[in-house]
Amino acid sequence: MPQVPNFSSASVKRSAVSAEASSGPWWRFPIVWMVVGGPLAVVVASLFTAFLAVKNVDPVLDISKIDPKTGHAPAMVGRNHSAEVATRPADQ
Q: Which pLDDT tens digit goes with each residue over 64-74?
A: 666 656 655 56
Q: Which pLDDT score is estimated for 19? A: 56
**Structure confidence at residue 41 as a pLDDT band (50, 70, 90):** very high
Question: Distance between CA atoms of 81 and 72, rounded to whole angstroms?
Answer: 13
Instruction: Give residue-wise pLDDT tens across range 13-35.
Output: 565 555 555 678 988 999 999 99
Nearest to 79 by CA among 87, 64, 62, 90: 87
pTM: predicted TM-score of the whole model, two decimal places = 0.44
